[in-house]
Structure 1
Amino acid sequence: MQPMLATPGALPSGPEWVFEVKWDGMRLLADIADGGVRLTSRTGRDVTDNFPELSGLSILVADAVLDGEVVLLDDGIPSFAALADRMHGPVAAVRAEARPVAFMVFDILRLYGVSLLERPFGERRATLERLALHAVPTAELSPLYTDGAALLAATAQRGMEGIVAKRRDAPYRPGQRSPSWVKVTHRRSQSCLVVGWKPERTNPSRIGALLLGVPGPHAVLQYAGRVGSGLAADGVQRVLRERLDERSAILQPFARPLSRADATGARWCRPGLVVEVSHVGWTAAGRLRHPVFRGIRDDVDPTGITPQR
């Protein structure tokens, strides 16, 4: 099963809506059954061994599927960059215990073998609230609020990503981007394919910028610009080089050659590695404005990327 997704949009209002923080982390479904827990990403990838500290979810109930987001905090604020190393492979329990993640749970999809997908969100939420999530140190119930404007302002003040509005009467539609869930962010984000990289001028062994692509009309790959901000950390450099070296290529993958400024010195790679960047919009030429690298997204299907104009 794949999780239901939110649609980008303007902040809705009215008594039929409730609001919660948009957690800056990794979406997970936790399937609790037979005394154990199986964690899957947005694309259905098994990531159970990436988060061994969430095994305690098994004490909550004999059978259930929980939907939520796993986060790591930096100075009290969820940080996608801090979580990046945990997303890509198994982690030893000792390391996980040293800096545990928090699983912010916001929905329940099955309980004791009974599907809750067709139940309204308000009913699913009430069912979720009856579980003793406080008994698991690494799990928390994602708070709900009724004043969306105030929550949006508060998240902006704290430097958080944004909020999600949810209709109380909405069923759960796995794998669909539903208008019943609306995400309102302070800075837009976009999943992109890495098609190449350019080395730093002062240190050619380091990545100075990633060259990005997004699918255009008729699935033709289009250049979306380059991103250099957010790449400085040694851990980011190490993971990116490992992943990009695996995908190295000789030729650029675009139907139209890039400008000399973009192509000179570029090291090309086969598209397939997905990264997320934040930005403030698109230029008329289809380039991202002021992009900032946020992390690799192994939980995003490369064939399902859509430019969010």
Structure 2
Amino acid sequence: MLATPGPLPTGPGWSFEVKWDGMRVLASTTGDDEPVLRLHTRSGRDVTANFPELTGITGLAPDVLLDGEIVLLDGGVPSFAALAHRMQGVVGTAAALRRPVVYMVFDVLRLYGVSLLDRPLSERRATLERLDLGGVDHVEVSPRYPDGAALLAVTAERGMEGVVAKRETSSYRPGRRSPDWVKVTHRHSQSCVVGGWRPERSSTTRIGALLLGVPGPDGLEFAGRVGSGLAGEAVQQVLRDRLGPLAAESAPFAAALPREDTAGARWCVPAVVVEVAHLGWTAAARLRQPVFRGVRDDVEPADVRREPEG
């Protein structure tokens, strides 16, 4: 279930949570005698081996499905940039424990084989809070707050991403963007689909810029290109691994691109989603001064849409 961008709701029947700057992950356990943990993104990518410090979740119940975000703290504040390297590959237990992540759980979708999807949020949260998450290392229940305006002010002061408001009576609709969950953010951030890339001037193998798009009514609409944030070798390797198998003969964008953007471009199937920070949108619907933040394996290309600036 996805949140819809919008103004902060007011009135009764809403609760409010911090919008964690992390990786959306579903955690499931199966098996009575020796429960097996599986961590996977909404796209179905298995990331269990990326976060070995979360194996204690198997002790909760032999059959449970949790929804939450994996975060990594930087200066006491969740940082997507700090988490980026953990999102991309297998990590040994010893290395993971030197700087462990925290799984902030905000929903329970199944327990002991019983689906809770049609139960109201208030009931699902009560069930979640009865589970012994406090006894699991590196796992916490994402707190709820009654005053959305106060939480929004606190998150702004601490440099956090924002707030998610949730209607207490809402059921859970997997994969759907719902008005029953509303997100309010403090900074401009945009998920984009990669439609191609341009090499660095001094190298034919290093990626100098990504060509970005946002799905629109007529297809993939060009949103500009991003070069800032791509210099690190770890970033380069991740992008090469993801984009290489997706090479295509032609541009996936709905309209022809300006020559200054297509010079030397290598096209790809629009299947990889990345996150960029930016300073707003130009009159030509291009991102202003975008900076690459990371690959978003927890976001499907079809779910990407232009986020409001305010």
Q: TM-score, normalised by structure 2?
A: 0.89
By how many angstroms is 1:6 displaced?
Answer: 0.8
How far the C-alpha of 1:249 sits from its partner, in A, is 4.4
Distance in structure 2 (CA, Å) of the matches to 1:216 and 1:107: 31
**Counterpart residue number, 2:134:** 134
Taking a change above 3 Å as real, the CA distance of residues 17 and 304 of structure 1, as seen in their structure-2 partners, is: closer
Please list, as runs of the form range in 1=range in 2, the aligned pairs for 1:203-222 lying within 5 A after superposition: 206-218=206-218, 220-222=219-221
How many angstroms apart in 2 are the aligned matches of 1:205 and 1:114?
50
* 209 and 60 in structure 1: CA distance in 2 versus 1, 3 angstrom threshold: same
Unaligned runs of 5+ in 2: none
| Distance in 1 (alpha carbons) for counterparts of 2:30 and 2:249 | 48
Please report how far the alpha carbon of residue 260 of structure 1 lies from its aligned counterpart in structure 2 after TM superposition.
Answer: 2.6
CA–CA distance in structure 1, aligned partners of residues 256 and 62 of structure 2: 57
Report the CA distance between 1:27 and its aligned residue. Answer: 1.0
Q: Which residue identity is paired with 1:24?
A: D
Match of 1:21 in 2: 18
Shifted more, 163-172 versus 107-116: the winner is 107-116
Kindly provide the CA deviation profile for residues 234-284 of structure 1, in whole angstroms up to 9, marking residues without a partner as x.
322222233333334454444543223222343433432221223344333
Indicate the residue corresponding to 1:57 in structure 2. Answer: 57
The match for 1:161 is: 161
What is the aligned partner in structure 2 of residue 287 from structure 1? 286
Root mean square deviation of aligned Cα: 2.3
The alpha-carbon deviation at position 70 of structure 1 amounts to 0.7
Aligned pairs (5 A) from 1:17-166: 17-34=14-31, 35-166=35-166
Percent identity over the alignment?
A: 65
Per-residue deviation, residues 160-191 of structure 1 (Å, max 9, x unmatched): 11110111222222222111111001124332
Q: What TM-score, normalized to structure 1?
A: 0.89
1:99-149 CA distances to partner (integer Å, 9 max, x unpaired)? 221100111112222222222212221221122211111101111111211
In structure 1, the gaps of 5 or more residues are: none
Distance 1:214 1:42 in 2: 19
| Equivalent in the alignment of 1:297 | 296
Tell me the matched-pair count.
Answer: 305
**Does residue 7 of structure 1 match 2:4?**
yes
**Structure 1 residue 201, shift from structure 2 partner:** 5.0
1:283-307 Cα deviation digits (max 9, x unpaired): 3322123322221122322344333
Q: CA deviation at 1:227?
A: 1.4
Q: Return the offset for 1:12.
A: 0.8
- Give distance in 2, aligned partners of 1:133 and 1:44: 24
Instruction: State whether residues 26 and 40 of structure 2, in contact with CA within 8 Å, keep that contact through their aligned partners in structure 1.
Output: yes
Once the two structures are overlaid, the 10-residue window that deviates more, 233-242 or 166-175, is 233-242
Structure 1 counterpart of 2:69, which letter?
E
CA distance, structure 1, for counterparts of residue 208 and residue 261 of structure 2: 12
Please say which of residues 16-25 and 110-119 is displaced more in the overlay: 110-119
Using a 3 Å threshold, how does the CA distance of structure 1 residues 148 and 303 change in structure 2: closer, same or farther? closer
SS at match of 1:257: coil
The residue type equivalent to 1:145 in the other structure is: Y
Query: Which residue is 1:247 aligned to?
Result: 246
> Does structure 1 retain, via aligned residues, the 8 Å contact 2:88–2:238?
no
What secondary structure, in the 3-state scheme, does the structure 2 residue paired with 1:246 have? helix
